[in-house]
Chains A and B, each alone.
Chain A
Amino acid sequence: MEDYKYLFKVVLIGEAGVGKTCLVRRFTQLQIWDTAGQERFRSITQSYYHSANGLILVYDVCSQQSFDSLPLWIKEIETYASPKVLGYLVGNKIDQINSREIPTHIGEQFSQRYEMTFLETSAKEAENVDKLFYDIAIQLTKKAQEEELEQDHDNVFKPDSTTTISNCSTCFKF
């Protein structure tokens, strides 16, 4: 009945202008949710985070300000997203070599502190973008399969896990 086995929700967050939308446009086979501009005045809906399987926190390597605001985003994530969400920290715009403000190792350190996977990308040059989304897809699929092994029943409604809702008999998407 379905063309795909899993449906994951991956959300992108980060300061306005760091290139989230460009990342999505560049590539993805996942259902990626962009912020629709609501981050501009820090007004992202809480529901954006709900049921997200993966989460990509993006900053601009050329913008110290976008990096400095990461803790605020982390706080939002901790409040609204599932603790089990697969977290990625992405430094975007590495093509602008001359205006870089955040060295790679600084971003990496930050990601380790919050147990996120770290990656630097350039949406403009399509650098690492495929890798980012493929990695996420692979990891989420792996996670979903592991969970499936632990499950005896098909009909289980698993709000925090990854099988798509239309699989289950008690929960419906229209």
Chain B
Amino acid sequence: MASDLPTSFDVVVVGTGMSESILAAAFSRIGQQVLHVDKNDFYSGQWASFNLEGIEKWSKRALGEDQLKPHDSDTSALLKEGEQLIDMPMVDDSYSNIKITFHAEDEPVQEKTRDSSVHDINPSEPDKCSKENNESETVVTKTVEQEITDQNKDTGTQVKRDTDIDTTGSDTKVKNNPVAETSDEERNKSSSEIGSTNNQETKSEQENSSPECKSEQENSSLQCESQVECDTESEKTIQNDKDLLTEGENQSKQSGDCNSDKQSVNSQDNIKKEWTKSALKKEWRKFNLDLAPRLLYCRGSMVELLITSDIAKYCEFKTVTRMLTLLNGKLEKVPCSRADVFSSKDVSMLEKRMLMKFLTFCNDYQNQPQEWTAFKDKPFIEYLIHKKLTKNIKHFIQHSIAMVTDTVSTEEGLSKTQKFLHSLGRYGNTAFLWSLYGSGEMPQSFCRMCAVFGGVYCLRMTASSVIVDKENKCCGVITTEGQRIDCRSLSRAILITDKSLLKSTENQDLSLLRLPDPNGGQPITVLELPPSSMACPPGLYPDKPNILWSLYYSHAVCEEIEYSEERPDNVIIMSGPGSEIDMDRPVNEARRIFEKLMPNEDFLPRPPNPEDIIYVDETEATVGGESSQSEFAESSDKSNQSEIVEQTKNEKLNDQSEKQDCDQLCDKTQLENQDLKSDQSEFVKEDSIEKETNKTPEQV
């Protein structure tokens, strides 16, 4: 398969994880010949996102099945004089304790039913479409919840922690549906739909759109619509999440009330349906479950890099709509924007003042050293106490805004708070973006940029050994196909070790919940994602969370890399996903390495305007030239180009108008809160500060 693979490259990048992909794109972008390989048959390595079937395959492979082996031919013949081979570790042993469980009820015969096509098109049962229709009206949640089970921290030179990730799905209860599930086995394939048949009448009464057969997707957009509405009514859904925390103690009266609230808002939410194992499996392709779930700070280095390198055009995002925290045993919405603070009912007037004053200070803490330098290296929590903040406010700031543990220093705490504040209001009400289809999309976007500039991609192939010459420089690799690939002596091979993931958690509506560990260990993060995030099928959303499915795994984490002494100095080892919730660390790591290796080159500059590109050979269309030729092919047409440029302009505008919207929001709140005059002047100040900081990245 790889027989026509060129045998010489400037750079060989092994592994398609986040850092590696960024570097590969950066090298390719400045004209280096890049070979990018991955031993897996999917992209993104330890950052990958999987559908339900994919993650089962992954779990088997992570346990050692079907691993790629070095080629069995004698590779020594490929060596030149004085060269040596260093074998590469082929097995990723950073995952352990993997356990996948379906918690949803199963109906006996249904288990086999995995072929979605069977139910998609079934002319023999004309009713079915409308039943399916009902199916996707349901709103449920899929959650991935991560728990830290272990505090192994001090057991070695490397800090390792065990992580359990619990992917839970939540179910909705069938309302007004006493008979539903008793149906006969012959119709087992559709039994999940049958469950909702009884609701059909209710539904068609209330739904104004045509009752005729609609495709699932159309429903999913309806789905999303109601979801968006729910989010704005988030107060109502918050309580549902509480159930989630109590692990599916779902049928509490409280959330029942919530549901009826919701129904009054969204007529489309009326239909409930039972999720079964087979129903889940049938939707297997609609899941995108992340191994390393991440969010992006709206003004973090990843977002800035996406914009400056123009890679943002390859991906789509959604804003996190709310942040939650567990306060005094209750789930509360974290007031993070100015508008939130004022409208929050959970915070007293005094606390509002206090919080705003503190946040305003954090926004500009570097210029007020007298306020905090005495606490510089002391824990951030001590500083918060010193500031005489109330318990609630301290909780919000430490766990939800700065998101730091008890041991983190004041300086770091302040800087994290500031990072959060700077990211607020750029694209939405919270500081975070979520990449549609899962975090696994991000490395792929960089890979695409690399490929557009001629990078060669080969999955299911990796370097089994590194060839080292007399000067202990890496001069090539042996692939698992038994082929020798030379790297130019000046260039570097980048080799990725397997590191690990701490814990992050994940779940399904764009809510971010940060739970501190009572023992002071690593906190648990819960992300809740709705179907519109393209991470789960419609119909899975928090009405009454039941755990439908879970995956627990431990992932050894190693963010700091120890270089062994024998490592040739042109072999770079990069880290894998760590414990942070964003993707800024790999960006900074890749930038650092790139700048060290290529001191005079730009790191992922914006690609040239497609209009300026001159094609050397228009007619060349044969196999050989394909990869190098394909540069910018996706936008080669002129009108198309101007469209893209236009788009960029619009998006910039977007950014600004977004900003204005937020400011307006604040104005509104200010009007409503006239007794807070002193604070208002501070906000105005803060605004202008923020605007100034805004300018810098864009001018650059």
Residues of B within 8 A of A45 (CB): 43, 444, 447-448
Question: Across the interface, do A41 and B457 meet the contact criterion of CB distance under 8 Å?
Answer: yes
Residues of A within 8 A of B532 (CB): 157, 159, 170-171
Min distance, Cβ A148 to any Cβ of chain B, angstroms: 11
Question: Across the interface, do B220 and A159 meet the contact criterion of CB distance under 8 Å?
Answer: yes
Per the bound structure, the CA–CA distance linking A80 and B43 in Å amounts to: 13
- Known A-B contacts A36-B634, A41-B5; the reply to A47 vs B441 at CB < 8 A is yes
Question: Across the interface, do A36 and B630 meet the contact criterion of CB distance under 8 Å?
Answer: yes
**Chain B residue, CB-CB nearest to A133:** B637
Per the bound structure, the CA–CA distance linking A17 and B621 in Å amounts to: 7
- Known A-B contacts A36-B633, A38-B451, A83-B120; the reply to A170 vs B321 at CB < 8 A is yes
Residues of B within 8 A of A173 (CB): 312-313, 316-317, 647, 651
Asked whether A135 is an interface residue with its Cβ less than 8 Å from the other chain, the reply is: no
Min distance, Cβ B36 to any Cβ of chain A, angstroms: 9
Question: Across the interface, do A24 and B634 meet the contact criterion of CB distance under 8 Å?
Answer: yes
Residues of A within 8 A of B42 (CB): 46
Asked whether B374 is an interface residue with its Cβ less than 8 Å from the other chain, the reply is: no
**Chain A residue, CB-CB nearest to B449:** A36
Asked whether A126 is an interface residue with its Cβ less than 8 Å from the other chain, the reply is: no
Question: Across the interface, do A79 and B285 meet the contact criterion of CB distance under 8 Å?
Answer: yes
Question: Across the interface, do A32 and B452 meet the contact criterion of CB distance under 8 Å?
Answer: no
Per the bound structure, the CA–CA distance linking A104 and B490 in Å amounts to: 52
**Residue tally, chain A, CB below 8 Å to B:** 60
Question: Across the interface, do A41 and B643 meet the contact criterion of CB distance under 8 Å?
Answer: no
Question: Across the interface, do B224 and A158 meet the contact criterion of CB distance under 8 Å?
Answer: yes
- Known A-B contacts A31-B640, A172-B654, A173-B313; the reply to A37 vs B221 at CB < 8 A is no
Question: Across the interface, do A21 and B630 meet the contact criterion of CB distance under 8 Å?
Answer: yes
Instruction: Tell me which of A40, A51, A82 has the highest count of chain B C-beta atoms within 10 A of its own C-beta.
Output: A40
- Known A-B contacts A24-B634, A31-B644; the reply to A174 vs B312 at CB < 8 A is yes
Question: Across the interface, do A161 and B221 meet the contact criterion of CB distance under 8 Å?
Answer: yes
For window 120-174 of chain B, which residues contact chain A by CB distance below 8 Å?
120
Residues of A within 8 A of B217 (CB): 82-84, 160-161
Question: Across the interface, do A159 and B436 meet the contact criterion of CB distance under 8 Å?
Answer: yes
**Chain A residue, CB-CB nearest to B36:** A43
Per the bound structure, the CA–CA distance linking A145 and B454 in Å amounts to: 38
Question: Across the interface, do A160 and B448 meet the contact criterion of CB distance under 8 Å?
Answer: no
Min distance, Cβ B463 to any Cβ of chain A, angstroms: 15
Asked whether B228 is an interface residue with its Cβ less than 8 Å from the other chain, the reply is: yes
Per the bound structure, the CA–CA distance linking A161 and B228 in Å amounts to: 16
Instruction: Tell me which of B303, B321, B629, B637 has the highest count of chain A C-beta atoms within 10 A of its own C-beta.
Output: B637
Contact of B643 among A31, A150, A158 (CB under 8 A): A31
For window 215-243 of chain B, which residues contact chain A by CB distance below 8 Å?
215-218, 220-221, 224-225, 228, 231
Asked whether B350 is an interface residue with its Cβ less than 8 Å from the other chain, the reply is: no
Residues of B within 8 A of A155 (CB): 228
Residues of B within 8 A of A41 (CB): 1-2, 5, 456-459, 461
Residues of A within 8 A of B451 (CB): 36-38
**Residue tally, chain B, CB below 8 Å to A:** 85
Residues of A within 8 A of B630 (CB): 21, 34-37
Question: Across the interface, do B285 and A172 meet the contact criterion of CB distance under 8 Å?
Answer: no
Asked whether A28 is an interface residue with its Cβ less than 8 Å from the other chain, the reply is: yes
Question: Across the interface, do A150 and B218 meet the contact criterion of CB distance under 8 Å?
Answer: yes
Residues of B within 8 A of A123 (CB): 621
Min distance, Cβ A25 to any Cβ of chain B, angstroms: 5
- Known A-B contacts A16-B626, A41-B457; the reply to A47 vs B312 at CB < 8 A is no
Asked whether B209 is an interface residue with its Cβ less than 8 Å from the other chain, the reply is: yes
- Known A-B contacts A50-B441, A50-B534; the reply to A21 vs B626 at CB < 8 A is yes
Per the bound structure, the CA–CA distance linking A97 and B239 in Å amounts to: 68
Per the bound structure, the CA–CA distance linking A159 and B210 in Å amounts to: 21
**Chain B residue, CB-CB nearest to A82:** B217
Question: Across the interface, do B459 and A43 meet the contact criterion of CB distance under 8 Å?
Answer: yes
Asked whether B402 is an interface residue with its Cβ less than 8 Å from the other chain, the reply is: no
Contact of B317 among A7, A150, A171 (CB under 8 A): A171
Question: Across the interface, do A172 and B634 meet the contact criterion of CB distance under 8 Å?
Answer: no
**Chain B residue, CB-CB nearest to A40:** B627
Min distance, Cβ B636 to any Cβ of chain A, angstroms: 5
Per the bound structure, the CA–CA distance linking A22 and B621 in Å amounts to: 7
Residues of B within 8 A of A158 (CB): 221, 224
Residues 82-115 of A, flagged 1 when their CB comes within 8 A of B and 0 if not, give 1110000000000000000000000000000000
Contact of A174 among B4, B303, B615, B646 (CB under 8 A): B303
Question: Across the interface, do B454 and A37 meet the contact criterion of CB distance under 8 Å?
Answer: yes
- Known A-B contacts A32-B640, A43-B458, A50-B441; the reply to A157 vs B43 at CB < 8 A is no
Residues 286-321 of B, flagged 1 when their CB comes within 8 A of A and 0 if not, give 000000000000000001001100001111111101
Question: Across the interface, do A30 and B640 meet the contact criterion of CB distance under 8 Å?
Answer: yes
Question: Across the interface, do A156 and B224 meet the contact criterion of CB distance under 8 Å?
Answer: yes
**Chain A residue, CB-CB nearest to B231:** A170
- Known A-B contacts A150-B209, A155-B228; the reply to A170 vs B428 at CB < 8 A is yes
Asked whether B700 is an interface residue with its Cβ less than 8 Å from the other chain, the reply is: no
**Chain A residue, CB-CB nearest to B624:** A17
For window 598-637 of chain B, which residues contact chain A by CB distance below 8 Å?
615, 618-619, 621-623, 626-631, 633-637
Question: Across the interface, do B633 and A29 meet the contact criterion of CB distance under 8 Å?
Answer: no
**Chain A residue, CB-CB nearest to B306:** A174
- Known A-B contacts A83-B217, A155-B228; the reply to A171 vs B120 at CB < 8 A is no
Min distance, Cβ A63 to any Cβ of chain B, angstroms: 10
Contact of B618 among A25, A147, A171 (CB under 8 A): A25
Residues 641-666 of B, flagged 1 when their CB comes within 8 A of A and 0 if not, give 00110110011011100100000000
For window 250-270 of chain B, which residues contact chain A by CB distance below 8 Å?
none
Residues of A within 8 A of B4 (CB): 40
Residues of A within 8 A of B342 (CB): none
Residues of A within 8 A of B554 (CB): none
Asked whether A138 is an interface residue with its Cβ less than 8 Å from the other chain, the reply is: no
Per the bound structure, the CA–CA distance linking A31 and B643 in Å amounts to: 9
Per the bound structure, the CA–CA distance linking A80 and B627 in Å amounts to: 23
- A and B contact pairs by CB, cutoff 8 A, 29 listed: A17-B621, A24-B633, A27-B637, A29-B637, A32-B637, A36-B630, A36-B631, A37-B457, A37-B626, A38-B451, A41-B456, A41-B458, A42-B1, A42-B459, A43-B459, A46-B43, A47-B315, A47-B448, A48-B444, A50-B437, A150-B218, A156-B228, A157-B221, A158-B221, A159-B534, A160-B217, A161-B221, A171-B319, A174-B307
Given contacts A3-B646, A158-B224, A160-B220, 8 further A-B contacts (CB under 8 A): A30-B640, A32-B637, A36-B627, A36-B631, A37-B626, A47-B444, A79-B285, A161-B218
A residues apposed to B, CB below 8 Å: 1-4, 7, 16-17, 19, 21-22, 24-25, 27-38, 40-43, 45-48, 50-51, 79-80, 82-84, 123-124, 147, 150-153, 155-161, 165-166, 170-174
